[in-house]
Amino acid sequence: MKSTGIIRKIDELGRIVLPKELRDILGIHIKDGLKISLDGNRILLNRYEKDCAVCNTRVDLVEFKRKMLCKKCIELIKSPQK
C-alpha cells in the first residue's frame, strides 16, 4: 500500500475531505457514491459502481424497484421457464 503522507482530521459531523488530487487520480466526482467497508482495523473506501443484482454485469442497466438489472437478465426473467 502506498502512503500519500496526507493527514486529514474528522470534523464535528464525522466527515473528512478527500483531497482533489486523489479524487482526480481515482476518477471520483462530485455526488459519486463510495462504498465503505472494514478490513480488520482499516476503513476502505471504494468507488461505488452499480451492477446487475442477478449477474453482476455493469452493461445495459435498468433500475427496477430500487435494484439494478441488465437487459439480458430482464429478457431471461420475461421468457417462459422450461
Residue 22 burial (CB count, 10 A): 11
Q: Is residue 55 located within the same domain as residue 44?
A: no
Distances from the Cα of 44 to the Cαs of 14, 17, 35, 36, 76, in angstroms? 16, 15, 8, 6, 35
Q: What is the pTM of this model?
A: 0.56
Note down the domain range covering 63.
50-82
pLDDT, block means (10 residues), the chain with 82 residues: 86 95 89 90 87 91 89 90 66
Q: How far is CA 55 from CA 50, 51, 52, 61, 80, in A?
A: 12, 8, 6, 11, 19
Both 4 and 38 in one domain: the answer is yes
Distance of alpha carbon 5 from alpha carbon 3, whole angstroms: 6
27 and 60 co-located in one domain: no
